[in-house]
Structure 1
Amino acid sequence: MSQNRNFYKKFTYAIGKEEDGKCVKEILRKKLHLSRGEISHAKGEEDGILLNAKRVTVAHPVQEGDVVEVHLHERKEEEGKILPAKGELSLVYEDEDFVCLNKPAGMVSHPSHGHFLDSLANYLAGHFEEEGEHHKIRVVGRLDKETSGLILFAKSQICARRLFEQAQDGSRKKEYLALCAGFFAEKEGIVTAKIRKVPEEKLLREVHPEGRSACTHYLVEEQKEGYALVRLILETGRTHQIRIHMAQIGHPLLGDTLYYPSYQGQMKRAALHAALITMPHPFSGKPLRFEAPLPEDMKELL
C-alpha cells in the first residue's frame, strides 16, 4: 500500500453454488452490500476489485469456488483540521470503524464559535493522538450543547456514509429520554407538526404549515407531580424537533429556555438525554446496542 494511504478496509466473499454465473457487480451489491459510490471508488484503485487475486471488471462472471476481494482506501490528505485537546471522554464503544461516546450536557459536539478547543470532537482528536491513530473527525448526528447522551463518530468517510445510510433506511434507531412538563392524559402518541426556522432568528424554530415534515413518537415512562419522564423516538431529525413538538402539545421540556421561557424549576438545561442506540454494525452487520444512563441532573427529579 502506498505511503499516502490512511484508512483501509478489505471485503472478501467466497462464491457458492447459488452465485455461479452471476457477475462481480451483483456480488458486490447484494452479498458485500457495497454502495454504488463505494464500488466506483474501488474501481479507481489498482487493487480495488479482485477475483482470485487478479483485477477484474464488475461485469466479469464468477464461478463456484472463486474469491472476490474489494479493497477500499482513503487518502491521508483527508485528515481533518480539528485540533486535538486533552479532556475527559466517556467512551461507550470503539472499534476500527467508529466510536460511540456519552456526551455530557453543556459540551458542544463539534468546534464552533467560542468553542474551538473544548468540543467533544477536540477531545476525541486528542484521544486518537494519544493512541497513535490519525482519523478525520466525522460526527454522525450532532447533539445540541444542552443535550446529553449517545453520539457516534466515524473513523472514515466510508463508515460515515454507511452510518448515514442507516439513518435514512431506519436500520439505526435512537431513543431519547426527556422530562416534560404537565400531566399526560394520553400515555403515548405521535406528533407530526411541520417545523421551520423562524425568519430572522439564528436558533429558534417553530411549527408552521410551510415547514419541513417531522414525526415524533412519545411514550410516558413515569408520571410525577407536574412533569413526566418520557421516551421519544424520532422518524425525522429536524433541529430542536423534540423540544418543539413537546412544547406544541403542551408538554415542554423542563429547563428549556427557548421553548419554555416561564420555567422556574431546578433544571438548568433542557432535560433531554440520548439514551439508546440500536443498529447493525456498518460492515459486519452484527447487532449492536448502546445505552447511556440518565445523568444526575435528570435523575434527581425522579
Structure 2
Amino acid sequence: MQLPKLLPTTVVGSFPCVKGSGFFGLVDPYKHAVKFAVAEQLRAGVDIISDGQVRADMVQAFVSKLPGINGNTVIGPIGISEKPITVADTRYALTQTKYVKGILTGPCTLAYALKIETPSYRDREELVLDLASALHSEAKFLAATGAYMIQVDEPILSTGAMDIETAKEALKIIFRGIETPTCIHTCGRLNTVSSEWTRLPVDVIDFEYSVSPENLSDISRHDLRNKKIGCGCVKSSETQVESVEEIEKRVRFCVESFGAENILIDPDCGLRMLTPEVAFAKLANMCEAVKNVRAEL
C-alpha cells in the first residue's frame, strides 16, 4: 500500500454534526453537516479525511437501510440495500480531496447491536456473515466511487465477544474482489486478541493508543506482515485539547515502535460526541504535531 506522504494524518471517521438551516436545511439538513465536517478536517490539515459520518450513529446508519431488520431487531434474512448507503457523502468529499476513506460499521459490531427474532439465524455468527455480504455491496460502491481506502469499524472485537475467525471470514466477504486499500479500526484494549487481530486480512490495522498505551507494546511484539499501522494519538473521549507537545511524544513513540514509513496518525476513535470547536482543535494540534515530528526525520 502506497501512503500519500510520510506520516499521513487521518481520522477514524465521525465528526460533530452541524445541521443546515433555512430552505435547504429542510430539504436535507445533513448536507450542510457533511460539507462542514469535510471543510473542518481539511482546514485542520488532515491528509486522509472522511465524510464526517454525520447522518446517524454507526449502527443505525447501516441497519436502517438493510432489508430483514426493523429498528434493532432482525426479523428475516438480511438483504442488500436498494441503493448505496454512504456513497453520496463520500462522493462529495472526493470533490474536495482525492484522499477520502469510505467507512463501514463492521458486521460483528452490527450483529451485537441487534436482537434476533427470526428462525433465519441460529446464532450471531450466521448473522455476521449475511451482514458481511450486504456490506460487500456497499464496499464495491465505495471502491467504484474512488475512495482512497475502505475502513471497517469493529469496536466489538476488543471485548473478545466475537470469535476472531468469524471476523476474519467476514472481512474476506466484504473485501472480496476489491483492490482498494483496506483497514480495520478497533478501539479498547487489545491484549487478549492482539495476536489474532494483527493477522486480519486488511492492509491497515488501526487502534487507540492515547487512552490505551499498552496497545502499543501488545501490537509491536507481533509479526505485522507488511501491514500499515494506524495509531490513535489524540483522545476522542475527553474534551480537553492535548497540547502539540503532548501529541508529539505519542507520535514519536509510535515512530520508534513501527517506523515512520509504516504508520498513519489519527485520533483514538470518532469525534462525534465532541463540540465542533474541540474536535477541530484536536485535529489541528494533531496535524501540527505530526508536521513537527516529520521535520525531525
| TM-score bin (small chain) | under 0.3
Select the structure with the greater relative contact order (CA < 8 A; seq sep ≥ 6): 2
Q: Higher strand fraction: Structure 1 or Structure 2?
A: 1
Q: Which has the higher helix share?
A: 2
Q: TM-score, normalised by structure 1?
A: 0.22
Q: TM-score, normalised by structure 2?
A: 0.22
Q: Pick the structure with greater CA Rg.
A: 1
